Chain A
Amino acid sequence: MRSQVVPTEWPLVALALLLTACGVAMVYSAGQTDVPNFVEGIWRTQVLWAVLGIGTAYVTSRLSVRLLEWGAVPLYLVAVFLLVLLLFIGTGAGTAAGTKSWLTIGGVRLGQPSELAKVAVVLMLARVLSAERTAPTSLFGLWRPALIVGVPWLLIMAQPDLGTGIVFIGIFFAMLFWSGVSWPLLLMAASPGISLILAFSTGVWGAWFLLLLALVAWKRPSWIESTAIVGANVAMGVVAPILWERLNPYQQRRLLVFLDPSSDPRASGYHLIQSQVAIGSGGFFGKGFTDGSQKRLAFLPEQHTDFIYAVVGEEFGFVGVGFVLALFCILLLRTVRIAARSANPFASLVAFGLTAAFFTHIVVNVGMTIGLMPITGIPLPFFSYGGSFMLACWLSIGILALVSSEGRGRADGLVI
């Protein structure tokens, strides 16, 4: 009941504010170089976006979950419409100059609709999954969630924007898991993708394939499903590499660049090396705020967006990196708790979906800076410079606060 004012989820907000403050400070530092350029003043813009985002979050937290549930469908449709529109009028900018990620009208860049699409997909998926009485138990039972994620995912891959695409996959599997889909089914659904990744080594792929066969034998899905799973895995693990080998190197490069514009081997290799040097040379305590030499001398690329975590690493060392990672970890443990405590299945799924979105962003971005993940242009929440993304992050915080404040009736005894 709205009259019953429940205190706002203050630890969540405090963590997000702290992270935003750190983030703005790092954007400021990213502009402090010996080679002055436009990055020098962008921290002011970032403060503006943060303030706007916090306002959005506040307003959102005053809404009701029912309104969110009602608004999920139109929001989703608008998001898909904008993504379709982008294919025709989208423009590139910044890291992804060769893509069509930006909505530009009259020469003014309005933002990246894919950020909106993340939130919309979470809401839509939560609505569909919460409406069903039981979680899907067969592959074909997953068609509706798959369709909801698949349409915007394909539109985003067409921009192309591999990084955001990965976030959608993260959201999809996390929310299926949260809705109670059994892990063997999740594994079978994910198996073609896993096969594609493992295909680089025949031995590893073979072991995985045997494991999958055992899983199919144990769970005994319908014969159509079994055939589809095995067929898809063989296609991804055996046929795809053979086809790939047949391509000329320049064709391979073109395909890679199509999938991910920043994957030009020389450029991405350079980025990764410079990022690792910056982070590694930070040592235990770092070189001091604004004093990172790799950043100052412009060796570090995209120091205000994709590689801002390398600035953290260089200037604050392992201590700073550990501190920020701990903040992120506490924040996400907190949002998992919010999801677990919510009495409303829709709200719970929304909270967990947003958690998954944050998690994917953090792991892929941070992992990329030290070479654990492929280099895809994916931003770090609260840190990377960018308006739409800052708004989307704070919108998510607002929704999480709303979920937390509403309907916390049932799980008081729940302790995680």
Chain B
Amino acid sequence: MSFHPNAVQGRARVASALLFLMFLFLGGSFFRTQVLQGARYHLQSEENRLRELPLPAPRGVIYDRTGRVIAENLPGYAISLLARNEDSLRVMMRRIGQVVPVTPEQTGAAVRRFRREPTRPTVLFPDAPFALVSALEERRLEFPGLIIQSAPKRHYPDGPAVSALVGYTGEISEIELGQERFAEYKPGQQVGKDGIERQYEARLRGREGARYVEVDARGRVVREQARPDQVPEAPPALYTNIDLDLQRFVHELFGDSLIGGVVAMEPRSGEVLALHSAPTFDPNQFIGGIPRDYWSELQGDPRRPLYNKAIKGTYPPGSIWKLHTSIIAMEAKQVRIDERMPVPCRGGFQFGNRFFRCWKEDGHGDVTLAQALEVSCDTYFYQLGIRIGLQSLVAGGIRLGSRDRSGIDLPAESRPLFPSDPAREYYDRLFGPQGWTQAVSLNLAIGQGENSQTVVNLARFYTALATDGAAARPEVVRGESERTPLFNITPAQLRALQEAMAAVVGTGTAAGSRLEGITVAGKTGTAQNAQDAERDHAWFAGYAPADDPKIVVAVLLEFGGGGSRAARVAARIIEHYLKGQVVSLPPTEGP
């Protein structure tokens, strides 16, 4: 080998230089990782070691207009698990199953929650009964990673009385989690499912807090409270326009025997005082998962308790739509309040080859418009319908809001069913060009035919009749009244219609519902329906006191028979509300 000192010295220089450069390079790499990228890795190490345990926030309390509680929160428990993977989650569920009964559905739900959000503690039992909590608490050491924490539980003190209004909450569903409006939600969280709870979800949802625990690489909790807790925050309370006392009264009034829907409103502001659908269900049973047998009981009930008859159900309006017909004719100056029709009522009206019956076989004789409203004479309105003509009747009905939703601040209000403009095209589409005659306008004029309305939308229409012709949008929570002028008739004409409606309850079809000291005005309706030819739907929409309306009520009784029965229900509601008002309000005029 060549081992001359000079050669060795040269090689030593080269070797030392290479060595030094390599160490410099290593040092530089560490400088990059530790100093330049240190912050990023620090964050990553925190993510590694800290687990955020969500602390569920209470939902906002819902009050009625006087501060009585509609929805509140009770202490409850949720049990979650910090699982490393799906297998360990399943193993844990099996082991819990040896201590307390666990259904396959519960395991399946837990696995689905884990798959969606594996880094978050997986909720095993969203609303754990106390027995389960204490059983697991006793064996805590056997279940590492199990987290038992308090989770506020929704409670409705008046349960069934408010279910149509307030709705209920439940665990957010898979479908909802995929929607943009729930982008910030996590599996296992509670969300409003219906009613006010759903409509005002954003205002009712609290801010979830967090507890930070330190875990090791296997997910076992090593240290509690590794960082100060982030306390969950409840949102400010939600005040509604509901009069809980009236709401309870309506619920009791319907009891278990009547089926139907009610909307009671303040006529000028549109504030919803009560909204009810009977029969009801108990929303408290829905919290923390609906029990299977309760669900099937509700589903199997032919009276459809889950179907909201105040805002979702649509029904032929029958005679209460005669006010619409009257106004359309008055706007076109086709009729005066004291005008009589060519053919007096002899129990019906011959049109072409068809005889159209009046509800009263004996007939009403020769009546004016005011009298026709009072006694609900069909013969009169058949002729009025012909006079208006189909196209104007449809266009007028649309203008009066018969095709629009009321705009109430509750979810899933149905759109009423009514012909579209132009009428000819609508009927051609529906029956074929040769399949119909002008006779459809006779049916339309008395609120039958292609017309199906929600209770809430008719309540809105009657706020216009009760006041100056402007309809108030129903407001459950909102404070922003919105009144839309509907009629183009003179104040004198409106007053004449109001007098006719007062006569309905005074001496007309709803005379049996007269109240002591309170003048009620309104209109009854008895609507034939396709489901049951024998039993008609009963309607009443009206307001009181007639001279200074404080409340508008629309009542529908499914298969309830005559409109006078609905009128009696409405009168009781009005009486309860106004008598209560008299008691609670100090006299404004005094000596």
Contact = CB atoms under 8 A, between A and B. Distances in A.
Partners in one complex: yes
A133 interface: yes
B338 interface: no
Contacts of B27: 321-322, 325
Contact of B15 (A317, A336, A414): A336
A281 B23 contact: no
Contacts of B16: 333, 336-337, 416
Interface string A288-325: 00000110011100000000000001000110011001
A202 to B, nearest CB: 27
Contacts of B42: 280-281, 283
B216 A348 contact: no
B222 A283 contact: no
Interface in B17-45: 19-20, 22-23, 26-27, 29-31, 33-35, 37-38, 40-42, 44-45
A115 B42 CA distance: 37
B3 interface: yes
B141 interface: no
A278 interface: yes
Given A281-B41, A416-B12, A135 B30 contact: no
A277 B48 contact: yes
A411 B48 contact: no
Between A179, A318, A410, the greatest number of chain B beta carbons within 10 A of the residue's beta carbon is seen for: A318
Contact of B30 (A132, A297, A332, A370): A370
Contacts of B34: 279-280, 282-284, 313, 317-318, 321
Interface in A155-193: 174, 177-180
B48 A135 contact: no
B140 interface: no
A329 B25 CA distance: 12
Interface in A116-152: 129-130, 132-135
A352 interface: yes
Contacts of A135: 1-2
Nearest to B11: A178
Between B12, B29, B37, the greatest number of chain A beta carbons within 10 A of the residue's beta carbon is seen for: B12
A329 B17 CA distance: 11
A348 B19 contact: no
A367 B20 CA distance: 15
Nearest to B43: A281
A210 to B, nearest CB: 25
Contact of A297 (B12, B23, B37, B216): B216
B48 A294 contact: yes
B5 interface: yes
Contacts of B23: 325-326, 328-329
Nearest to A340: B12
Given A297-B48, A329-B23, A336-B16, A370 B9 contact: no
A220 B12 CA distance: 28
B486 interface: no
A397 interface: no
B123 to A, nearest CB: 25
Given A297-B216, A297-B222, A336 B19 contact: yes
Contacts of B7: 180
Interface string A370-382: 1010000000000
A228 B429 CA distance: 90
Contacts of B217: 35, 297-299
B41 A329 contact: no
A370 B49 contact: no
B1 A414 contact: no
Contacts of A132: 1
Contact of B35 (A177, A284, A329, A337): A284
A366 B13 CA distance: 24
A279 B30 contact: yes
A313 B37 CA distance: 13
Nearest to B48: A299
B214 interface: yes
A363 B215 CA distance: 33
A372 B68 CA distance: 69
Contact of B40 (A129, A134, A280): A280
Contacts of A410: 5
A20 interface: no
A350 B13 CA distance: 18
A293 B37 contact: no
**Interface class of chain A by DSSP:** helix
Given A283-B34, A328-B23, A297 B11 contact: no
Contacts of B214: 34, 293, 297
Given A276-B33, A280-B34, A34 B216 contact: yes
Contacts of B3: 130, 180, 345, 348
B24 to A, nearest CB: 9
Contacts of B22: 359, 363
Contacts of A277: 41, 44-45, 48
A393 interface: no
Given A333-B20, A336-B12, A414-B9, A35 B216 contact: yes
A80 interface: no
B20 A329 contact: yes
A24 interface: no
Interface in A331-376: 332-333, 336-337, 339-340, 345, 348-349, 352, 355, 359, 363, 366-367, 370, 372
B181 interface: no
A297 B49 contact: yes
B202 interface: no
A133 B1 contact: yes
Nearest to A180: B2
B218 interface: yes
A279 B33 contact: yes
A294 B49 contact: yes
Contacts of A179: 1-2
A279 B1 contact: no
A337 B42 CA distance: 41
B290 interface: no
A307 to B, nearest CB: 13
Contacts of B1: 129-130, 132-135, 179-180, 345, 349
Given A180-B2, A284-B38, A332-B19, A293 B45 contact: yes
Contacts of B37: 280
Contacts of B33: 276, 279-280, 313, 370
B221 to A, nearest CB: 10
Contact of A280 (B2, B38, B216): B38
Contacts of A372: 26, 29
Given A277-B48, A280-B40, 14 more contacts: A129-B1, A130-B1, A135-B2, A178-B11, A180-B3, A274-B48, A279-B30, A284-B34, A293-B48, A318-B35, A325-B23, A326-B23, A370-B33, A416-B16
Ranked nearest first, the 7 interchain pairs of A and B with the lowest CB-CB distance are A280-B41, A281-B45, A180-B2, A340-B12, A283-B38, A298-B217, A329-B23
15 contacts: A279-B30, A281-B42, A283-B38, A283-B42, A293-B49, A293-B214, A328-B23, A329-B23, A336-B16, A337-B12, A345-B3, A359-B19, A370-B29, A370-B30, A414-B5
